[in-house]
Structures are given as structure tokens and as C-alpha cells.
Amino acid sequence: MERQVLFTGIGGQGVQLAAKVLALGATRDDREVMSLGTYGGTMRGGNTDATVVIGDGPLTSPPIVSNAWSAIVVHPRFFSPIQSKLRADSIVLADEDLLETALEAKSSRIALIPATTIAREIDSPKAAALVLLGAFASLTGIVGPVSLRYALADSLPSYRQQSLASNERALLAGAEALPVMKEPAWTSRAA
């Protein structure tokens, strides 16, 4: 079984970090993983997307997918291009604080959380993407919480280690924002 997770947002929001944490966390959970990050023409303010493909065996999907099981929308500005890739049964998680209009997707399973507000409340204002990742992991069980924490520590470069504690708080706050395993990614550990 394979699960494709699309990330979208604006450069500087932590989209690439969140995708890397998910990918490394999945490898810690003994899953097969491929990931690909893409960037727009500017470092901050332009679009940034990432795809993470996670499976329980050898992967058949390349990290450039035509259809996906889920999406994490850190900012809706560039959601339209990935919207068409979502399957009808997909799970979409988005930061409701940044929505100006209703998020439209083929999916009937859309979860909105105030990720920006939560990040500010835990004194980690730049970690909304990690709040969303923590919520997504809790909601789906795609990666275990311990694996995510270790992956976060492994993902931060040496010059950002001072942010580890606040980023861990963001993952935990996100995990507490949604019900646990309401939309399971895996039917069983062997699946």
C-alpha cells in the first residue's frame, strides 16, 4: 500500500522542513519513502511544494504523482495546481487561519485547524507547517509521534538547533488538535 502526501505553501513557511520530517519519520517506522521538493522563482513569498510517497514495500509511484491520497495545505495560494491531483477519497488538512474563501476539493474529508494561531499560542510563530504535520500524523497514523520527533531533530541543521524545542511543541500541539486515527493511513501494521 502506498500513501502520497502533497504539501503546498509559500516559501519560508516550513513546507520543505515538514515534508522532510514526514519522510524521515516514515523511514524510522520502517516504511519505504521517496520525496521531492519543488520551489518557485523566489526564496520567500513564491510557491513551494513537496511530495512524499510512503509505502509498506517497494514503491511503484515516483515522487511526481498524478493522483494523491492526501494534501497538507500550509497556505492556499498555490493549492489549485495540486487540487486536481487529489483523489475523490483524499484527506486534505489546511490552516484555516489563512483561508480567505472556502477550500474546494473533490474530497469530502477536509480538516481545518487554526495552525497559525496554535503556533503563535505555543510561542513558535513560524511553525504552522509543523502544527499541520503533527495534526496530520495524529489524524492518520501515517507516522508515529516518536518517529516524528526524532526525524525533526535529524532534519534541523546545526544553526537551527535552538528551534528544536519550539518545533517539537508545534508537532505536539498539532497532534492534540485533531482526533487520533480518525482517518487511518494503514489498515494494519502489515498493510
Structural domain includes residue 105: yes
Pairwise CA distance, residues 115 & 131, whole Å: 6
The answer for residues whose C-beta is within 8 angstroms of residue 72's C-beta and 6 or more apart is 5, 6, 7, 8, 18, 93, 94, 129, 132, 133, 136
Task: Check pLDDT > 70 for residue 70.
Answer: yes
Task: Check pLDDT > 50 for residue 64.
Answer: yes
Structural domain includes residue 71: yes
pLDDT category at 187 given cuts 50, 70, 90 is confident
Torsion sign, CA atoms 123, 158, 48, 36: negative
Task: Check pLDDT > 50 for residue 62.
Answer: yes
Task: Check pLDDT > 70 for residue 150.
Answer: yes
pLDDT category at 28 given cuts 50, 70, 90 is very high
Q: Tell me, what's the pLDDT at 142?
A: 97
Going from the C-alpha of 72 to that of each of 92, 133, 165, the distances in angstroms are: 6, 8, 23
pLDDT in tens, 159-182: 999 999 999 999 999 999 998 999
Structural domain includes residue 119: yes
Mean pLDDT of the chain: 91
Task: Check pLDDT > 80 for residue 137.
Answer: yes
Task: Check pLDDT > 50 for residue 190.
Answer: no
The distance in angstroms from the start CA to the end CA of the chain is 6
Structural domain includes residue 191: no
Structural domain includes residue 180: no
Pairwise CA distance, residues 80 & 11, whole Å: 16
Give the domain range for residue 98.
2-175
Structural domain includes residue 27: yes
Residue 169, domain CATH: 3.40.920.10
Structural domain includes residue 183: no
Worst-scoring range by mean pLDDT, 98-102, 126-130, 142-146?
98-102
pLDDT in tens, 77-95: 989 889 999 998 899 999 9
Candidate ranges 18-27, 34-43, 176-185; pick with highest mean pLDDT: 18-27
Pairwise CA distance, residues 125 & 113, whole Å: 15
Task: Check pLDDT > 90 for residue 39.
Answer: no
Structural domain includes residue 186: no
Pairwise CA distance, residues 22 & 130, whole Å: 10
The number of distinct structural domains making up the chain is: 1
